[in-house]
Amino acid sequence: MTHGIDGLLQPFERDKIKLRNRFVMAPMTREASPGGVPGADVAEYYRRRAAGGVALIVSEGSFIPHPASGWSASIPSLEGARAAEGWSRVLDAVHAEGAAMYCQLWHQGAARDDLPITRHPGVRSVSPSGVGPDGSPTGDCLSQGAIETLVDAYVRGARFAREVGFDGIELHGAHGYLLDQFMWERTNRRTDAYADPLRFPTEVVRAVRSVLEPDFPIVYRFSQWKPHHYDVRTASEPAVLERLVLGLESAGVDAFHPSTRRFWEPAFPEVDSETTLAGWTRRFTQLPIIAVGSVGLDQVFMDSPVARAARVTNLDLLVACFERGDFDLIAVGRALLSDPEWVNKHASGQMAGIEPYHPRFADNLL
């Protein structure tokens, strides 16, 4: 057994979140739900990870009920009777194994145009300012009325998630998608009230919070990096991050999920050579924090134009960050794609039996 892993295996209970241990399955797009409907294979995929020891599963990003929310017709939807039936099967399977499951609400914004569109291909994408990071035209600039429609779509997605039986929701505000596009000065060039990077995200949080029970958790996922822009920062310095965290907490967020490519790297090395993005977030809030980023693997998810295989590593560095208080929960991604029993194997000292990650696992629903 990795030294000190016992702490990560202890139950977690704070405010609205109660879990059997500290391990979370990170959200990972599977694109295996034709017509937006999760099938029996999707239910079994999630069931195996729940049986493998994780305490909480955050679903793959699922499209809120808005025609331009995403590119693929095979990504799960948060609207309609058939999608509700599919998600109910998934949740029954996960709950039967003793795990909780949160639904990740997703809108890609202008990033929808980066891939072949099979979901509502005749609908134009939307973005805060109608431009991409390089200033080129990307997506229709959102009017006030269109923004109000989007807020309502988040509300309807949240209601859907609650009604089908999810235990909480996560708002995907990371990785250059719609909420993050409002947070980034390269994609938000507005001159109205929405020039404030927090205006739209906090409106969404407040609206969603207002229709959910007080004890129903809202997690907010954010990141510094964007696809193809791995070194940029949404928060240029700690003071900017503090405003982001406190603003979202005030709006009604119950936990934060700061997403990094490597959980152990310092967020602001020019200020502090050790403190991670999760650690900095902890400085500004006492809300639960989920860290993530290449857990248990020796390669980040993309070091080159193509994904690469990664060898299994021990959890000593993870334990060190946990013990100094950087985070409360840890999300595991690719390691769980390759080995659904990853948590149980670490817990029982079977690290030598863990399946190494290979890119083939990214394409299979196993």
Q: Is the pLDDT of residue 305 over 70?
A: no
pLDDT in tens, 145-199: 999 999 999 999 999 999 999 999 999 999 999 999 999 999 999 999 999 999 9
Position 301 scores a pLDDT of: 54
Q: Is the pLDDT of residue 304 over 80?
A: no
Give 300's pLDDT tier (boundaries 50, 70, 90). low
Handedness of CA 162, 200, 123, 111 (dihedral sign): negative
Residues forming a β-bridge with 56: 24, 100
Top-confidence range, 120-124, 230-234, 360-364: 120-124
Average pLDDT (110-127) is: 96
Least confident of 34-48, 121-135, 297-311: 297-311
Question: What span, in angstroms and rounded, lies between the C-alpha atoms of 258 and 223?
Answer: 6
Contact of 89 with 126, CB cutoff 8 Å: no
Question: What span, in angstroms and rounded, lies between the C-alpha atoms of 232 and 222?
Answer: 13
Position 36 scores a pLDDT of: 98
Choose, from 45, 46, 177, 194, the residue flagged as catalytic.
177
Give the residue extent of every domain in the chain. Answer: 5-363
Residue 64 dihedral angles phi and psi, to the nearest 5°: -70, 160
Position 351 scores a pLDDT of: 87
How many CB atoms lie under 10 A from the CB of residue 52?
A: 19
Average pLDDT (303-324) is: 79
Position 2 scores a pLDDT of: 45
Pick the closest to residue 285 from 318, 243, 222 (CA basis): 243
Average pLDDT (316-332) is: 96
Share of the chain above pLDDT 90, in %: 87
pLDDT in tens, 32-49: 999 999 999 999 999 999
Position 307 scores a pLDDT of: 55
Q: Is the pLDDT of residue 274 over 60?
A: yes
Residue 31 dihedral angles phi and psi, to the nearest 5°: 50, 50
Question: What span, in angstroms and rounded, lies between the C-alpha atoms of 146 and 143?
Answer: 5
Average pLDDT (108-118) is: 95
Long-range contacts of 116-119 (CB under 8 A, 24+ apart): 116/71, 117/71, 118/71, 118/72, 118/73, 118/74, 119/36, 119/63, 119/69, 119/70, 119/71, 119/72, 119/73, 119/75
> What is the chain's mean pLDDT, rounded?
94
Contact of 221 with 260, CB cutoff 8 Å: no
The CATH number corresponding to 5-363 among 3.30.559.10, 3.20.20.70, 3.30.420.40, 2.102.10.10 equals: 3.20.20.70
How many CB atoms lie under 10 A from the CB of residue 162?
A: 18
Average pLDDT (271-282) is: 97
pLDDT in tens, 64-87: 999 999 999 999 999 999 999 999
The predicted model scores a pTM of 0.96
Q: Where are the alpha helices (DSSP H) in 72-169?
A: 81-96, 144-164
Q: Does the active-site annotation cover 102?
A: no
Share of the chain above pLDDT 70, in %: 96
pLDDT in tens, 205-240: 999 999 999 999 999 999 999 988 888 999 999 999
Pick the closest to residue 140 from 150, 128, 126 (CA basis): 126
